[in-house]
């Protein structure tokens, strides 16, 4: 079946530094990947849609200069949280789409900014 | 725009109890409907899905029927287990948009 690998699972960084999160589709080519943010005990908030070879589409209210998304290949998308601050601490989840009905989620990344 | 109204939690049940988590949606066109489950500290896993009216999705004893007339996709299980403790998300997918819209999630805790 479709597998999406997300790394790291947990990361702690200092305020002002940048953190990169990777999302890989291991056994299929993902033309589209999605990045979500989840606050404690809340639902998933779509941050951006990443299409291979083109710029990501950000949802309203998401700072594109803060959350850099790169989808350089059909199997890899990265989210870089730049100049991280404590309020960026959250659970980030990626999802890869193989077809209109096939969405597979990564295991998530717990980011803590201290 | 598309939206989902999901039964608020938390829901606490005893083992072997009957479970219903309500979900209603508004969407343009005829969406596909999904239920996802999230175990503590993990990403989401697809639990079941239905792609057209009157379809019934089922998996691991869970069922949900696509009710077009009531725009609902309620999740049910006849006898829950402790291992079912997790957060459950209802999510319609409008094909044209290719984006899932998630409900607020329902925390289920099953006590032994």
Q: Closest approach of chain B CAs to the CA of A104, in angstroms?
A: 7
8 A C-beta contact, residue B7 and residue B105: no
Q: Closest approach of chain A CAs to the CA of B95, in angstroms?
A: 6
Question: Would you call B98 and A97 a contact, using CB atoms and an 8 Å cutoff?
Answer: yes
Count CA atoms within 13 Å of residue B21 on its CB side: 32
Report chain B residues whose CB lies below 8 A from the CB of A34. 99-100
Mean pLDDT by 10 residues, chain B (112 residues): 84 97 88 92 91 94 96 97 96 76 92 96
**Residue A49 contacts B, CB cutoff 8 Å:** yes
- Helix intervals (H) in chain B: none
**Residue A101 contacts B, CB cutoff 8 Å:** yes
pLDDT value at residue A23: 96
Q: Name the DSSP class of A59.
A: P
User: Which one of A41, A93, A101 has the shortest CB-CB distance to B32?
Assistant: A101
In whole angstroms, what is the distance from residue A114 CA to residue A12 CA?
A: 7
**B50 closest CA partner among B25, B71, B32, B28:** B32
In whole angstroms, what is the distance from residue B39 CA to residue B21 CA?
A: 17
- Residue by residue, DSSP assigns A72-98 as EETTEEEEEE-S--GGG-EEEEEEEEE
In whole angstroms, what is the distance from residue B76 CA to residue A98 CA?
A: 28
pLDDT value at residue B3: 84
Report chain A residues whose CB lies below 8 A from the CB of B46. 103-104
Give bridge partners of residue B87 from the DSSP assignment: B38, B107
Exposed / middle / buried, residue A29 (Cβ in 10 Å: 0-12, 13-18, 19+): exposed
In whole angstroms, what is the distance from residue B19 CA to residue B1 CA?
A: 29
Residue with tokens 């404690």: A40
Q: What is the pLDDT of residues A30-49, one digit of tens each?
A: 888 999 999 887 888 999 99
Q: What is the pLDDT of residues A46-91, one digit of tens each?
A: 999 998 888 899 999 999 999 999 988 889 999 999 999 999 999 9
Q: Closest approach of chain A CAs to the CA of B10, in angstroms?
A: 10
pLDDT value at residue A100: 61
pLDDT value at residue B96: 63
């Amino acid at each position: 079946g479709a597998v999406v690998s997300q790394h790291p699972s947990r990361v702690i960084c200092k305020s002002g530094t940048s953190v990169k999160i990777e999302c890989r589709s291991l056994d299929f080519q993902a033309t589209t990947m999605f990045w979500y943010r989840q606050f404690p005990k809340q639902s998933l908030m779509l941050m951006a849609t990443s299409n291979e070879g083109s710029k990501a589409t950000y949802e309203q209210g998401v700072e594109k200069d803060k959350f850099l998304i790169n989808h350089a290949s059909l199997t890899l998308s990265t989210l870089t949280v730049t100049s991280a601050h404590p309020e960026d601490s959250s659970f980030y989840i990626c999802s890869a789409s193989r077809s209109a009905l096939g969405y597979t989620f990564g295991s998530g990344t717990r980011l803590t900014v201290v | 725009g598309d939206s989902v109204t999901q039964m608020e939690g938390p829901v606490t049940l005893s083992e072997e109890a009957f479970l219903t988590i309500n979900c209603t949606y508004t969407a343009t066109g005829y969406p596909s409907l999904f239920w996802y489950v999230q175990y503590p500290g993990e990403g989401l896993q697809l639990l079941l899905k239905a792609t057209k009216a009157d379809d019934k999705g089922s998996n691991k004893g869970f069922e949900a029927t696509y009710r077009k007339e009531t725009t609902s996709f309620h999740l049910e299980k006849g006898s829950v287990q402790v291992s079912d403790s997790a957060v459950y998300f209802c999510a319609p997918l409008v094909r044209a948009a290719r984006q899932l819209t998630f409900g607020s999630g329902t925390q289920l805790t099953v006590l032994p």
